[in-house]
């Protein structure tokens, strides 16, 4: 689920292969409207689809010369990103 709070998106609940495509499209709409931060503090369940989702949103933001930062990354996401060698691609604050 995505909740918008100004220029920040709050991602909550499960983010898995089963719902990543819908979240991708919804997130892209918010990015086009100026979202600059994605807060992952309320993600309760995840798989590698979350990493793919974040990288896709990051690519979308960069295509339009926008800045995007991720906050409150779950430790399991950090681990997956390190295993795939993409941890340095995720801008965090």
Tokens in use for 87? Answer: 């941890």
- The pLDDT value recorded for residue 93 is 77
Overall pTM > 0.85: yes
Domains and CATH numbers, the chain: 2-89 (3.30.750.24)
Helices of type H across the chain: 20-32, 48-63, 75-84
pLDDT digits (tens, 9 = 90+) for 37-90: 999 999 999 999 999 999 999 999 999 999 999 999 999 999 999 999 999 999
- Using alpha carbons, list the distances in angstroms from residue 26 to 11, 49, 65, 85, 90: 11, 15, 19, 27, 20
């Amino acid at each position: 689920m995505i909740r918008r709070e100004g220029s920040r998106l709050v991602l909550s609940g499960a983010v898995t292969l089963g719902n990543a495509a819908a979240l991708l499209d919804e997130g892209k709409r918010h990015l086009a409207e100026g979202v600059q931060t994605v807060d992952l503090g309320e993600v309760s369940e995840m798989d590698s689809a979350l990493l793919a989702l974040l990288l896709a949103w990051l690519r979308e933001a960069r295509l339009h010369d926008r800045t995007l930062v991720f906050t409150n990354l779950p430790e399991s996401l950090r681990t997956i990103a390190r295993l795939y060698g993409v941890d340095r691609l995720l801008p965090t604050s």
